Amino acid sequence: MSGDRLTASGSSHACAISSYHGAVALPSLYRPTVIRSARAKVNLALSVGAPLREGPRSGYHPIASWMARIDLADELMVTRLEDDRLSRYAILWHADAPRTSPIDWSITKDLAVRAHLLLEEETGRSLPVQLKLDKRIPVGGGLGGGSADAAAMLLAVRELFDLAIPDSRMVELAMKLGSDVAFCLEEGPAVVAGLGERIERTPAVEGWIVLVMPPFGCPTGAVYRAFDEVAGEAEAREEEVRAMARGAGAGIEGLSLFNDLAAAAERVAPELGLLRAQIARALGRMGDSGPRAVHVTGSGSTCFVVCGSAAHAAETEASLRRALEGCAVRAAKIG
């Protein structure tokens, strides 16, 4: 199945899926509805350790990452349906999405849908909902769109059905869905360590960045395998990441941000290295007082550049739009 829209109906026991090309039906005004914003994240610092050699999570990589949310967001509208109804899901690109791609995955693979089904499993009951998910966050770009959607869905369904699930259990459920989902349950920045289960919220941080979202992705599994080929027995540098987060003050300009996966991502997708060099050349032509680093978030492929103000971000966005054919470029606010 392919296309830029997808709908499905069903429950944890049955699910019918079809491509969707019409308008999504709006919920009845008499049905309880929750609208949640699912904001993207960026990794301001990402340190990665060698994979675990034993235990139930063997093969997984411990990390230490300073993560923050930005104002690029998907939007979920979740409506509670009558108890005898089947759940319905509609996933589509918002009209102002910076970069779209085919929505061609199985509905049961979508993280927001999986979050809903997980809550049905947790409670042992049907929790019928209608989901309309308007996506803006590019797929496979290292911005955590799927994780943000899953966290928003967990919170929306808990609210709609008044489920007595404590926050601590919500974190455990989130970890079953992905290593970034627990972080996305709250809005503030944090240092995330271990396999994503240790979350230390850090002081609020604000700033402006410009995102460059290329038309190619960097498969996460392939990037980690490339990392393993050169990393040896690397350890996640938790204290270094914590020190950066604690000493940042209110802003990120001037900090030595880093990402241990950037080089591995360039090995998997050599065009990423070419893109970073192209961005650096375009920045050099702007006549800034000094060179600006071109960072990578997550396992790629999205790059970002730190800016000193909203005006600086707007100027940088305009310059990069002119210079980078085929890439989506967008200024974004951290905080």
Cα–Cα distances in angstroms (integers) from residue 105 to residues 22, 91, 139, 311, in the given order: 19, 11, 11, 38
Residues 161 and 244 grouped into a single domain: no
- Among 74, 110, 134, 180, the active-site one is 180
Residues 42 and 173 grouped into a single domain: yes
- What is the DSSP secondary structure assignment for residue 121, as one 8-state letter? H
The span from the CA of 194 to the CA of 177, in Å, is 16
- pLDDT tens digits, one per residue of 309-319: 999 999 999 99
Contact at 8 Å (CB) between 185 and 154?
Answer: yes
Identify the band that residue 6 occupies on the pLDDT scale cut at 50, 70 and 90: low
Identify the band that residue 287 occupies on the pLDDT scale cut at 50, 70 and 90: confident
Instruction: Say how many domains are in the chain.
Output: 2
Residues 222 and 276 grouped into a single domain: yes
Tell me whether the omega of the peptide bond preceding residue 12 falls within 30 degrees of 0, making it cis. Answer: no
Residues 99 and 181 grouped into a single domain: yes
Q: Which residue has the tokens 């375009």?
A: 282
Q: What is the model's pLDDT at position 22?
A: 34
Question: Residue 81 corresponds to which tokens in the numbers above?
Answer: 């349906």
Question: Residue 129 corresponds to which tokens in the numbers above?
Answer: 């909902």
DSSP strand E in 180-294: where? 190-194, 198-201, 207-213, 258-259
Instruction: Taking each helix axis as running N to C, give the angle between helix 111-123 and helix 145-160, from 0 to 180 degrees, rounded to the nearest 10.
Output: 40
Residues 181 and 234 grouped into a single domain: no
Average pLDDT for 100-127: 97
Q: pLDDT: is 29 or 245 the higher one?
A: 245
What CATH number is associated with residue 181?
A: 3.30.230.10
- Among 41, 74, 132, 149, the active-site one is 41
Cα–Cα distances in angstroms (integers) from residue 144 to residues 10, 85, 138, in the given order: 26, 31, 9
pTM of the shown model: 0.90
Range of the domain at 286: 207-334
Residues 35 and 112 grouped into a single domain: yes
State the DSSP string of 16-28: EEEE--SPPPPPP
Query: Would you call 4 a catalytic residue per the annotation?
Result: no
Q: What is the model's pLDDT at position 12?
A: 38
The helix or strand, by DSSP H or E, that contains position 27, with its residue range, turns out to be none
Query: Would you call 41 a catalytic residue per the annotation?
Result: yes
Q: What is the model's pLDDT at position 195?
A: 95
